[in-house]
Amino acid sequence: MQQDTSIYKKITAFAIDLMGIDDVDSTLKFISSKANKLLNTQRCSIFVVDSENNAFWTILNDETDMITIPINSGIIGKTYATKMAQLVNNPYETSEFMSSIDKKIDFKTENIITAPIFDSKQEIIAIIELLNKNEGEFNDSDLEILNFFANFISGSLEFSLMDS
């Protein structure tokens, strides 16, 4: 319980640091690296909703490697459709899992958690996804932390997307 409180305080403090950043690329990068550290994971991706094209866009390895995926695809699509955080500890045995991104970046996804990020109108603007916990599998407490994190960074992300 004591540890829980401290992680939540870290997240609120991080959200304040994030307010100092304006542009989308830096905001996304800063959020990803913090999420990776907080939950001790190998990768973090943020899939931003492009509602005009019914798709998400995300940056994979570096700024030049931007990809788009259909809004209904994979665990990300499920997160969007259900508006609920998802926890998948056996992706290759799950029908929704899209292994094509793994192939593209030469990566093996072992486990996944995702959470929707809502804007001020309660619409989803992005999905945050964490892959491969460094120790063990994801649990409900990780999901709760990611939800809390998503909730706290949403305002900064909405501002940065509004300006872009």
Partner 1 sequence: MNLTHLDDSQRPKMVDVSDKNQTTRVAVASGIIEMSQDAYDAIVSEKTKKGPVLQTAVIAAIMGVKQTSTLIPMCHPLNLSGINCDVEELDELPGFKLTVTAKLTGQTGVEMEALTGTSIGLLTIYDMVKAIDKGMVIRHVQLEEKSGGKNGDFKR
Cβ-based nearer residue to partner 1, 42 or 151 = 151
* Token pair listed for 16: 């304040």
Question: Phi, psi at residue 161, to the nearest 5°?
Answer: -75, -30
Q: Are 86 and 80 in contact (CB under 8 A)?
A: no
Subset of 133-152 contacting partner 1 (CB under 8 A): 144, 147-148, 151-152
Tell me the number of residues near partner 1 by CB under 8 A.
Answer: 24
Is residue 11 a contact residue for partner 1 (CB under 8 A)? yes
Q: Which amino acid is at 76?
A: I
- CB proximity list for 34: less than 8 A, separation 6 or greater: 14
User: By rule CB under 8 A, what string of x and - marks binding of each residue 75-114 to partner 1?
Assistant: ----------------------------------------
Q: Is 8 in the site for partner 1 (CB under 8 A)?
A: yes
* Residue 37 token pair: 């550290």
What is the rounded distance in angstroms from the CA atom of residue 115 to the CA atom of residue 76? 9
Chain residues that interact with partner 1, rule: CB under 8 A: 1, 5, 8-9, 11-13, 15-16, 19, 119-120, 122, 144, 147-148, 151-152, 154-156, 158-159, 162
